[in-house]
Amino acid sequence: MSPAAPAAPDASLVGLRWAIKHSFLDYVAKTPDGRAYVDQGASVTASNDLVFPPRQARLKGAAGGVDTYEFGGEVHFVAYGGMLYVRIGDPVIHVCGGAGRLTVRSVDDADRSIRVELATFTVGDTGSGVAGPTQWHATDVRLAAEGVPVFADVYSTGEPLAPLQVRLPDAQACG
């Protein structure tokens, strides 16, 4: 995978669009046997952004004013004969006020129910949600403490990650 430009509005996008971390994608691509593949409905854009499809409607204020957005799909990174294996699957976003956090399924294949808080972020511009899709961007996306082991402790808590973009289909938009 090659470097991707920051996510730009894309009318065809529905779901969570996120490139994880550009330098990590570049690193895996440069290893002798490195590869990345998507599964379970995730896809890759021409600019190497990953797209995780929406799985559940926005649950506005479902828990103490927290909005929850659930997505499906997985991306797998494999290198060094499998010594490097990172899976990022079924991302869920929780937003409260201007702050958000993103959890994913654990890389531990033995128990797929374990979720890890991978990133925290600041919510950027949000759509009105009244007419048309709800779309918003997140900036200042950073590695959460729980996500440090996902990358074998190479990055520290607070490491900058790629910006992310959420767009929901019309039927899921709300005011």
When the beta carbons of 23 and 43 are compared against ligand HEM, the nearer one is 23
Nearer to ligand HEM, 136 or 155 (CB): 155
Specify whether the CB–CB gap between 71 and 53 falls below 8 A: yes
Residues in region 9-48 near ligand HEM by CB under 6 A: 23-24, 27
Question: C-beta of 54: minimal distance to ligand HEM in Å?
Answer: 27
The reply to whether 80 sits near ligand HEM by the rule CB under 6 A is yes
Report the residue from 2, 11, 46, 83 that binds ligand HEM according to the rule CB under 6 A: 83
DSSP letter (8 states) at residue 130: S
Shortest Cβ 147–ligand HEM spacing (Å): 11
DSSP state of 160: B
Burial of residue 81 (number of CB atoms within 10 Å: 0-12, 13-18, 19+): exposed
Asked if 52 is part of the footprint of ligand HEM (rule: CB under 6 A), the reply reads no
Q: Is 107 in the site for ligand HEM (CB under 6 A)?
A: no
Does the footprint of ligand HEM cover residue 130 (CB under 6 A)?
no
* Min CB(66)–ligand HEM separation in Å: 30
| Whether 19 contacts 49, CB under 8 Å | yes
| CA atoms within 13 Å, Cβ hemisphere of 156 | 0
Per-residue x/- track, 140-159, ligand HEM (CB under 6 A): -----------xx-xx----
Supply 166's token pair: 């959420």
State whether the Cα torsion 31-53-115-117 is positive or negative.
Answer: positive
SS3 call for 47: coil
Helix (H, G, I), strand (E, B) or coil at 6: coil
- List interacting residues with ligand HEM (CB under 6 A): 23-24, 27, 80, 83-84, 86, 151-152, 154-155
